[in-house]
Amino acid sequence: MIVSEKIVHLAEEAERALAEHFARIDRVSFENTQRVMDSFREHRVCDAMFQSGSGYGYDDRGRDVLDEIWADVMGAEAALVRHSIVSGTHALTIGLFGILRPGDVMYSVAGKPYDTLEEVIGLTGNAGDGSLRDFGVDYAQTDLNEDGSFRFDEIGDKLRTMGKKIKMVFVQRSKGYLNRKTLSVAEIGELVKFVRSISPEVFVVVDNCYGEFVETVEPCAVGADLVIGSLIKNPGGGMAESGGYLAGTKRAVELASYRLTSVGIGAEVGASLGQNKLMYKGLFYAPHTTAQALKTAHLAAYIFEKLGYCVEPHWNEERHDIIQTVITGSAELLCAFCRGIQEGSPVDAFVTPEPWAMPGYSDQVIMAAGAFTQGSSIELSADGPLRPPYTAFFQGGLTYESGRIGIMAAAQRMIDV
């Protein structure tokens, strides 16, 4: 790959400017690694836990202990971690259907949830397909303020006027495909306190995708009832081959487990099929891998900001997830960006990404992913819906070195347009 002198110098300049941020990221990674390793030691993780289970999967010690470790690491009472959860959307669906009943209201307080949840909730899609709406669950929403903070007044009014109908307050931590700020764990903690002061019974559920291990605490530790994410993002550490997790209070996790398998059976079955070791190894790596992705994001923010693009977060801002957005301003530049990322990937570097109508998304999407695990976005990957302002969302980088290569390639491709 040929990258101009300009980009090489820009990357070097960025690293000098980012030294303090990188040091802080390393400290967070150290603290999170310590928390993971303390839990491994306390739970006496050993080789026998990596054995493959089949059939019903009764008494799979590796699976059960991994759930306990996840609960610890997340600051939760209980957790469910399964390779058989096919995606983040699936994990979220399990949590939503596990808790909500006919007549209940799901109340999203951080604006519109992630695109793929629209059909799950019943905001789009066909009546009769089995969305929450089909089952008589209503949906209410409050957007964030212009500055990205919660609208506490409106949230308070809704909770008071709708009362017990609101069974769940739903918060998406990360920006997803929206041009907004990502919420910090501290902000989510404030929200939980506020919600509890009005409606102590409500379940606070957090879509934690892309937020894991970016800070030293997770939303469960500040009172969320259920926190949900994907193992092919941060917490799988680039090792887990598939899967998702739900962590939270005993009751919330139990309800989710009844939806995952069957009422009454819950988390006690489910063959591990040889996936335990990769999930353990993934959790072990996750704080470090997340740090690699964060450094890559900072680097990109610096480079693209210097090239004149609007980026979020800014290069010198502290982050609450691993996503970096670059507003490219045109379909052509968005595609160039994604093509550069693809070229700078370890797998499929020779292919050219094209926009397509992806199932579950309402606009055409272009994606770049040269990943060892299909669709893994803790690996360097980029995507963007083809709608103004043509924002590229990118994330990941299993190693900072490879992330740096991908970012330099993307910058070069955009200069070449």
| Burial degree of 231 (CB within 10 A; 0-12, 13-18, 19+) | buried
Residue 152 CB, nearest approach to ligand PLP (Å): 22
Residue 345 CB, nearest approach to ligand PLP (Å): 18
Using the rule CB under 6 A, is 393 a contact of ligand PLP?
no
Residue 376 CB, nearest approach to ligand PLP (Å): 10
Task: Report angle CA 154, 159, 161 to the nearest 5 degrees.
Answer: 90
Alpha carbon distance 9, 13 (integer Å): 6
Phi then psi for residue 406, to 5 deg, are -65, -40
Residue 88 CB, nearest approach to ligand PLP (Å): 2
Residue 181 CB, nearest approach to ligand PLP (Å): 13
Q: Which amino acid is at 208?
A: N
The residue whose Cβ lies closest to ligand PLP is 88
Residue span binding ligand PLP (CB under 6 A) among the ranges 66-74, 204-212, 306-314, 335-343: 204-212
Alpha carbon distance 397, 93 (integer Å): 27
The CA–CA distances, whole Å, from 63 to 60, 165, 283, 355 equal 5, 36, 13, 39
When computed from its CA atoms, the radius of gyration of the chain, rounded to whole angstroms, is 21
Kindly tell me which of 233 and 413 has the beta carbon lying closer to ligand PLP.
Answer: 233
Helix, strand, or coil (residue 393): strand
Residue span binding ligand PLP (CB under 6 A) among the ranges 45-53, 63-71, 162-170, 171-179: 171-179
Q: Footprint of ligand PLP on residues 85-114 (CB under 6 A)?
A: 87-89, 114
Residue 176 CB, nearest approach to ligand PLP (Å): 4
Using the rule CB under 6 A, is 209 a contact of ligand PLP?
yes
Kindly tell me which of 264 and 359 has the beta carbon lying closer to ligand PLP.
Answer: 359
Q: Footprint of ligand PLP on residues 175-194 (CB under 6 A)?
A: 176
Residue 207 and residue 280 in contact, taking contact as beta carbons nearer than 8 Å: no
- Pick the binder of ligand PLP from 40, 70, 210, 280 (CB under 6 A): 210
Q: Residue 356: name the closest of 346, 368, 345, 348 by CA.
A: 368
Helix, strand, or coil (residue 76): coil
- The number of residues that bind ligand PLP (CB under 6 A) is 12
Using the rule CB under 6 A, is 174 a contact of ligand PLP?
yes
Residue span binding ligand PLP (CB under 6 A) among the ranges 46-54, 81-89, 124-132, 299-307: 81-89
Using the rule CB under 6 A, is 381 a contact of ligand PLP?
no
Residues near 27 by beta carbon (within 8 Å), at least 6 away in sequence: none
Residue 24 and residue 31 in contact, taking contact as beta carbons nearer than 8 Å: no
* Helix 400-416 × helix 331-343 angle, to 10°: 140
Alpha carbon distance 49, 64 (integer Å): 9
Residue span binding ligand PLP (CB under 6 A) among the ranges 83-91, 144-152, 295-303, 332-340: 83-91
Residue 243 CB, nearest approach to ligand PLP (Å): 10
Residue 226 and residue 205 in contact, taking contact as beta carbons nearer than 8 Å: yes
Alpha carbon distance 188, 199 (integer Å): 16
Residue 108 CB, nearest approach to ligand PLP (Å): 12
Site string for ligand PLP, 32-71 (x = CB under 6 A): ----------------------------------------
Residue 51 CB, nearest approach to ligand PLP (Å): 28
Q: Footprint of ligand PLP on residues 214-243 (CB under 6 A)?
A: 230
**DSSP letter, residue 243:** -
Residue span binding ligand PLP (CB under 6 A) among the ranges 9-17, 202-210, 289-297, 341-349: 202-210
Residue 362 and residue 124 in contact, taking contact as beta carbons nearer than 8 Å: yes
| Burial degree of 283 (CB within 10 A; 0-12, 13-18, 19+) | buried
Kindly tell me which of 207 and 379 has the beta carbon lying closer to ligand PLP.
Answer: 207
Residue 229 CB, nearest approach to ligand PLP (Å): 8
Kindly tell me which of 120 and 301 has the beta carbon lying closer to ligand PLP.
Answer: 120
Residue 246 CB, nearest approach to ligand PLP (Å): 13
The site for ligand PLP (CB under 6 A) is made up of: 87-89, 114, 116, 172, 174, 176, 207, 209-210, 230
